[in-house]
Chain A
Amino acid sequence: MIVTTQKPLDEVLDFISPYTSILIAGCDGCTQPPRGLREAKTLSQLLELAGKLRHKDFNFKATTVAKQCDNYLAASILKPQINDAEAALSLACGIGVQTLAEVFPELPVFPAQNTHFMGAEEREAGALEERCAGCGDCLLALTGGICPVARCSKGLLSGACGGSKEGKCELSPDRDCAWCLIYEQLKKQDKLHLLKESRPPRDYQLSGWRITT
């Protein structure tokens, strides 16, 4: 899932203060926690309250899109609702914001979220952690299903750096050392020989910026 956090409300208020009629578009897609209809409504209520304190009457319309990063979906769902909106506030990740900007080129589109990374939620701990760096050259088959590109602070591809201390990273001691995790995992699977395999340097061209389907 794409991990986002809410932008502080005063920042959002700065974006929208020149406008009165604003569309708030949630996204039911891969953000965690989901920023769907409830989040859109809550944001509209909070901004309305903030507006009142600042003697400004906003007119919000809260709605949601199944996947805001799909330009066809975004256009077909939002076009009929956009009517007299002077600006749009997107609760999606950065991709969703850009899709809206592309679909509605005349309309100023503002982000209500900060987008962080592709990750997973450890719900009991209430934490979200990066899991995939989108490198385009997946090596999880060799590393016991644990990605060193995303989870090793130094992004090392061939083993721990020597700074690993009791399973933790030397750069951020509260963070697990990815290579320790990989070692333990491979040990459980009796596949430690994988660590001895030499592998070629990563092909950075693979991460790319455009793929034709």
Chain B
Amino acid sequence: MSESATHDVVAVKQNEDYCSSCSICSSLCPYEALKKDTETGKIVLDIAKCQVCGLCYSNCPAKVIDILYYDLDSLIKYLERAKQEYASDTLVIMCRGSAPDITGVEKLFGISKFIPLLVPCVGRIPDEIYFNALLMGIKKINILACDEDYCRYERGSSVTGRKIIALNLLLDQLGYGQEAITLKRHSLKVQVDANLCIACGNCVFYCPYDAAKLESPGGINFDLAACRGCGLCVAMCPAIALELENWEKERISLVINQLSSEMKPPKILVFRCQWAVFPSLNGEPSPNVCFIDLPCAARVDKFHILEALQKGIDGVLIAACSEDDCKQERASGKAQHSIAALSERLGQIGLQDRLHFCTVSPRYPEELDNELAQFSQK
């Protein structure tokens, strides 16, 4: 309670005047942030527990919940703009956790041009968006969700699955066909280069999901059904033998290269966990600050931090979830430890102020701005 009192702006609000205490939100909330008060019978929001998944927002029948990110208005505005920009009538709504790159998405759905809408969890999309999109002249809506047991918000993917079945039935009656909305599931997982593996067993120790198995003889094997793509093993592999789909080392290096040449000093690069900070739909134009979104702070590679500094970036900020908020089994704590070790090494050559690790949460949107302001001053 005292934690929320120190924050002026919070991401989720509940308008109690209209709430009919139907309990749909509290039954959906994966974090018990919305609960029925046993004495008053009213639904109470505990923002300190909220992870801003948006399931309550998209499913409240009385529209009682106000949410700061990806609300109906901003989604519609984005769609109107994006429809012009991408000149397509196919919409793909993707969860950030499972979306491959453009060609990967095109391949998955067998399409060639599309309007992308990236959100943290497709479960937060309200029904009205689908109707609005169809009214706008969008012909086909594709949804890319995570595999159900891979969903970082536990229920987002499965709730969306059920919702789409119901919506398709409805849309069929209205004459939009049986499959106006297509849902596919996909998850991004670790890949091993067996030629590079030195069978040291580091990944076995670090994997929060027991997905890595080292056998002798036999070498390393990943149980991909268990892997949830946090990228901790990739960042910790001493032999650089692992990759995480969509966050390959080379791909990130290219982005760093490009960003560092485009930015103006003082250049600050932020590696942000995509569950700790939700990117704005309007882009984030700033000549001094650039962002690289990662599946978890655990994927932050020492290599990339140093590469950024080498390329002339003045400061690197890591924006992670706190260990308690981490959607990847407290992997952010391991990341913090490894960043601290690198900070110490940087200190030995006089660059200790250039790297900073901070924990933020989307529930308090001003946190990152404050951290950034402090860091820029340094």
- State the main secondary structure of chain B at its contact with A: helix
Within 8 A of A (CB), among B27-54: none
- A207 on interface, CB distance cutoff 8 Å: no
Q: A33-B202, A45-B310, A66-B198 are in contact. Are A8 and B238 (CB under 8 A)?
A: no
- A35 on interface, CB distance cutoff 8 Å: yes
- A9 on interface, CB distance cutoff 8 Å: yes
**Which stretch, B2-10, B120-128, B169-177, B299-307, touches the partner chain A?**
B299-307
User: Are B205 and A38 in touch, CB under 8 angstroms?
Assistant: no
Q: A41 vs B238: C-alpha distance in the bound complex, in angstroms?
A: 10
- B349 on interface, CB distance cutoff 8 Å: yes
Residue of B nearest to A64 (CB): B239
Residue of A nearest to B235 (CB): A38
- State the main secondary structure of chain A at its contact with B: helix
User: Are A37 and B239 in touch, CB under 8 angstroms?
Assistant: yes
Q: What residues of chain B lie closer than 8 Å to A33, measured between beta carbons?
A: 202, 238
- A170 on interface, CB distance cutoff 8 Å: no
Shortest distance from the beta carbon of A192 to any chain B beta carbon, whole Å = 35
Within 8 A of B (CB), among A139-176: none
Q: A48 vs B337: C-alpha distance in the bound complex, in angstroms?
A: 24
User: Are B302 and A42 in touch, CB under 8 angstroms?
Assistant: yes
Q: A41 vs B304: C-alpha distance in the bound complex, in angstroms?
A: 11
- B163 on interface, CB distance cutoff 8 Å: no
- B63 on interface, CB distance cutoff 8 Å: no
Q: A8-B348, A53-B349, A53-B350 are in contact. Are A28 and B239 (CB under 8 A)?
A: yes
Q: A33 vs B200: C-alpha distance in the bound complex, in angstroms?
A: 9
Q: A126 vs B198: C-alpha distance in the bound complex, in angstroms?
A: 22
Within 8 A of B (CB), among A183-198: none
Q: What residues of chain B lie closer than 8 Å to A199, measured between beta carbons?
A: none
Residue of B nearest to A7 (CB): B348
- B351 on interface, CB distance cutoff 8 Å: yes
Within 8 A of B (CB), among A106-140: 123, 126
Q: What residues of chain A lie closer than 8 Å to B303, measured between beta carbons?
A: 38, 41-42, 45
User: Are A39 and B348 in touch, CB under 8 angstroms?
Assistant: no
User: Are B306 and A38 in touch, CB under 8 angstroms?
Assistant: no
Q: What residues of chain A lie closer than 8 Å to B307, measured between beta carbons?
A: 45
Shortest distance from the beta carbon of A89 to any chain B beta carbon, whole Å = 15
- B211 on interface, CB distance cutoff 8 Å: no
Shortest distance from the beta carbon of B346 to any chain A beta carbon, whole Å = 7
Q: What residues of chain A lie closer than 8 Å to B238, measured between beta carbons?
A: 28, 33-39
- B309 on interface, CB distance cutoff 8 Å: yes
Shortest distance from the beta carbon of B291 to any chain A beta carbon, whole Å = 22
- Bitwise interface map of A from 35 to 74 toward B, beta carbon under 8 Å scored 1, else 0: 1111101100110111011000000000010100000000
Contact among A9, A38, A46, A52 for B240, CB-based, below 8 A: A38
Contact among B196, B205, B237, B240 for A123, CB-based, below 8 A: B205
User: Are A36 and B198 in touch, CB under 8 angstroms?
Assistant: yes
Q: What residues of chain A lie closer than 8 Å to B107, measured between beta carbons?
A: none
Residue of B nearest to A11 (CB): B348
Q: A28-B200, A36-B198, A36-B200 are in contact. Are A41 and B240 (CB under 8 A)?
A: yes
Q: What residues of chain A lie closer than 8 Å to B306, measured between beta carbons?
A: 42, 45-46, 49
User: Are A10 and B348 in touch, CB under 8 angstroms?
Assistant: yes
Q: A38-B237, A38-B239 are in contact. Are A9 and B345 (CB under 8 A)?
A: yes
Shortest distance from the beta carbon of B240 to any chain A beta carbon, whole Å = 5
Within 8 A of A (CB), among B312-362: 337, 342, 345-346, 348-351
Residue of A nearest to B200 (CB): A34
Q: What residues of chain A lie closer than 8 Å to B310, measured between beta carbons?
A: 45, 48-49, 52
Q: What residues of chain B lie closer than 8 Å to A123, measured between beta carbons?
A: 205
- A6 on interface, CB distance cutoff 8 Å: yes
User: Are A37 and B345 in touch, CB under 8 angstroms?
Assistant: no
User: Are B349 and A9 in touch, CB under 8 angstroms?
Assistant: yes
- Bitwise interface map of B from 105 to 137 toward A, beta carbon under 8 Å scored 1, else 0: 000000000000000000000000000000000
Shortest distance from the beta carbon of A62 to any chain B beta carbon, whole Å = 10
Shortest distance from the beta carbon of B157 to any chain A beta carbon, whole Å = 33
Q: A39 vs B237: C-alpha distance in the bound complex, in angstroms?
A: 10
Within 8 A of B (CB), among A5-25: 6, 8-10, 13
Ordered by A's residue number, 26 sampled pairs between the chains whose C-beta atoms are within 8 Å are A6-B345, A9-B345, A9-B349, A10-B348, A28-B200, A28-B239, A33-B238, A34-B198, A34-B202, A34-B238, A34-B239, A35-B238, A36-B198, A36-B240, A38-B239, A38-B303, A42-B302, A42-B342, A45-B303, A46-B349, A49-B346, A52-B310, A53-B349, A64-B239, A66-B198, A126-B337
Give 11 A-B pairs besides A9-B345, A9-B348, A37-B240 with Cβ atoms closer than 8 angstroms: A8-B348, A36-B238, A36-B240, A37-B238, A41-B240, A46-B306, A49-B349, A52-B310, A53-B349, A64-B239, A66-B198
